[in-house]
Chain A
Amino acid sequence: MGDLRDNRLTIITGHYGSGKTEFAVNYSIKSLNSYNKVVLADLDIVNPYFRSREKAAFLKNMGIRVIGSSMMNSSMEIPALTADINGAIDDKTSKTIMDIGGDPVGARVLARYSNQISMQGYDMFIVVNANRPETQTVEAVKRYMNNIELSSGLKISGLINNTHLLRSTSIDDLLKGHELCQKVTEDTGIPIVYEVAIRSIADMIKDPSIKIFPIDLYMREDWMS
């Protein structure tokens, strides 16, 4: 796929455990093709593990700046937001990706920035994994979308189908999520912007109407399934 056409300010939300961070990390790396300056702002104040700030050193080497908590330690669970986030939102030369904590409770952190973000213009995507028990129906996904919009004060502009079973994902998983997201699009008018797949699956999808976003698993250690 070619260069990214999303707004330079891109917000990644979703259900708890939908795969936001893995997408955000991959999306940041992809953004290097289109932007000289890429910032990944980790605003996850819900999760104590598997946060993008854990990969800060790795991403810094690639040319991506990671903004985490204002507390230095990556394993802190204190929801301390640094003033750097304001700068990254306002900096018109920066592709800024905001990785938000799961669920409406995680999205609440955005309310503090909603006016500032609205003034800049933005895309807010919701990551959907149809293999998560809480987001298997159109109604459930719509409920999450509605609640995330309510708590963040921002509008969702795109769906990301991220339906997988980690390394045991099959094409059927991706297609199941595709079908679910399509139905959500029919009901809400909000389009599917990306359909995420590990590379082995991505290569097998031939349907050009499916906008495949191939990813590598940066957040999973080799010994994890």
Chain B
Amino acid sequence: MAKVLMKGNEAVCEAAIRAGCRYFFGYPITPQNEVPEYMSEKLPKVGGVFLQAESEVAAINMVYGAAGAGGRVMTSSSSPGMALKQEGISYIAGAELPCVIVNMMRGGPGLGSIQPGQADYFQATRGGGNGDYRHIVYAPASIQEMVDILMESFDIADIYRIPVLVLGDGMIGQMMEAVEFKEAIPKELPEKDWITTGTKEKRKPNVINSLYLEPELLYEHNLKLEAKHRLIEENEVRYEATGVEDAEVVCVAYGTTARVVKNAMEELEKEGIKVGLIRPITLWPFPNEAFDKINPKAKGLLTVEMSMGQMIDDVKIASNGRWTTDFHGKSGGLVPSPAGVIDAVKKIIGGGK
């Protein structure tokens, strides 16, 4: 198929529909409003259901219900709206239901701004909900990558029976880029023999639930979830590592910010400064293994984020004391500039002005 020009918010919907998503429950919030708008127009045309819920809390619980009945279901929101969904995400993870959630992050905290942000890293990777749960977090850096990931994420959600969060930001949602929708490669998926679609008096009822009143049973359930999390950490880590083996400084950045860093790297290269980049594509599981490839003699790591510094905690864990870890970032809806990254890199190597 030829390339077309699409906004991130539109492309994410088209990818979902092509991946078989037929149910969308959401509530409008800038900068992701084109998502519900697109879904409301297109889903009914393919026999799907679009429903604007009365709130984000209602929407995520509708996702719980649809996933429990075996539907391919998605919801989307932006930062403050995502905060409201956290309880439901914990329930969905607890009940082991597959679903896809999109967050086009904006500046925070609170209502914040409508401009792009990356300050939901803690929320996305640590969970705003309660309990020992995890969910997969993908952080695409282009609209094409987001489309490719989204088409796959419904399968990943089904395979592990876990929520998958696709974490973009307002820039990824609002920006236009050329995209191509590739034919999805069908994966072998486990049969959904656990869904609640009626016993037809042939089997015992399936129960979708996250309540275990017996502590021993809940502990057993948590061990099962933990084993699943370990399996995901083994199999699903994704990242891009560029020029880290002989770099003087290695930047760590994801999503939109990684693109700003790449631009800065090109400039620094012209000045003869070797900078590497680790770009986590999965934020959970975090690509710890990528850091083993870094030049042991590198002068330091520089984490760049559209926040006051959140992923840097994971960078420190992955670095494990091997390198100093500095931070450069902007927040509130401002995007770091290549010039700012260049200055921060130069400060680390001590050659700055």
Chain A interfacial positions (CB closer than 8 Å to B): 16-17, 47-50, 75, 77, 129, 131-133, 164-166, 168, 221-225
Could you pull out 7 A-B pairs where Cβ atoms are within 8 angstroms? A17-B5, A49-B175, A75-B114, A132-B5, A168-B3, A222-B263, A223-B259
Cβ-defined contact, A166 with B170, below 8 A: no
Whether A131 contacts B114 in the complex (CB less than 8 A), given A48-B31, A49-B174, A77-B30, comes out as no
> From B258, which residue of chain A is reached at the shortest CB distance?
A223
Distance in angstroms from A134 CB to nearest chain B CB is 9
Cβ–Cβ contact B178 & A165, under 8 A: yes
Q: How distant is the Cα of A165 from the Cα of B177 in the complex, in angstroms?
A: 7
Among residues of B, the one whose C-beta sits closest to the C-beta of A167 is B178
Chain A residue nearest to B263 in the complex (CB): A223
A132–B178 CB distance below 8 A? no
Residues of A within 8 A of B262 (CB): 223
Q: Is B63 an interface residue (CB 8 A)?
A: no
Query: Which residue of the partner chain A has the closest CB to B5?
Result: A131
Contact call A223/B170, Cβ cutoff below 8 A: no
Q: Tell whether, in the assembled complex, residue B5 and residue A75 are in contact, meaning their CB atoms are under 8 Å apart.
A: no
Chain B contacts for A224, CB-based, 8 A: 175, 177, 259
Q: Given that A49-B31, A75-B114, A223-B262 are contacting pairs, would A168 and B178 also be in contact in the complex, using a CB cutoff of 8 Å?
A: yes
Decide: A164 and B5 in contact? CB cutoff 8 A.
Answer: yes
B-chain residues with CB within 8 Å of residue A133 when the two chains form the complex: 4, 6, 10, 14
Given the complex of chains A and B, what is the CA–CA distance between A126 and B335 in angstroms? 32
Instruction: Give the interface centre of B5, B262, B263, B333 by most chain A CB atoms within 10 Å.
Output: B5
Are A223's CB and B260's CB within 8 A? yes
A50 to B170, CA, bound (A): 11
Q: How many residues of B contact A (CB 8 A)?
A: 27
Q: What is B's interface to A at a CB cutoff of 8 Å? A: 3-7, 10, 14, 30-31, 113-115, 142, 170-171, 174-178, 259-260, 262-263, 333, 335, 338
Interface-central residue, B14, B142, B177, by most chain A CB under 10 Å: B177
B5 contacts which chain A residues (CB < 8 A)?
17, 129, 131-132, 164-166
Residues of B within 8 A of A17 (CB): 5-7, 10, 176
Bound Cα distance from A45 to B10, whole angstroms: 19
CA distance A225 to B5 in the complex (A): 12
Q: Is the CB of B31 within 8 A of A131?
A: no
Contacts of A129 in B (CB 8 A): 5
How far is A164 from B263 in the complex, measured between Cα atoms in Å? 23
In the complex, A49→B259 CA distance in Å? 18
Cα distance, A75 to B111, chains bound together (Å): 14
Q: Please give 13 more A-B residue pairs, beta carbons under 8 A apart, in addition to A75-B114, A133-B4, A224-B259.
A: A17-B7, A17-B176, A47-B174, A48-B31, A49-B171, A49-B174, A50-B175, A75-B113, A133-B10, A165-B178, A222-B263, A223-B263, A224-B175
Contact yes or no, A222 B338, CB < 8 A: yes
For the complex, what is the distance from the CA of A77 to the CA of B113, rounded to whole Å?
A: 10
Name the 3 nearest CB pairs between A and B, nearest first. A49-B174, A223-B263, A165-B178
A-chain residues with CB within 8 Å of residue B178 when the two chains form the complex:
131, 165-166, 168, 225
For residue B7, which residues in chain A have a CB less than 8 angstroms away from its CB? 16-17
Q: Smallest distance from the beta carbon of A163 to chain B beta carbons, Å?
A: 9
Task: Please indicate the chain B residues that have their CB under 8 angstroms from the CB of A164 in the complex.
Answer: 5
Measured CA separation A223–B263 after assembly (Å): 6
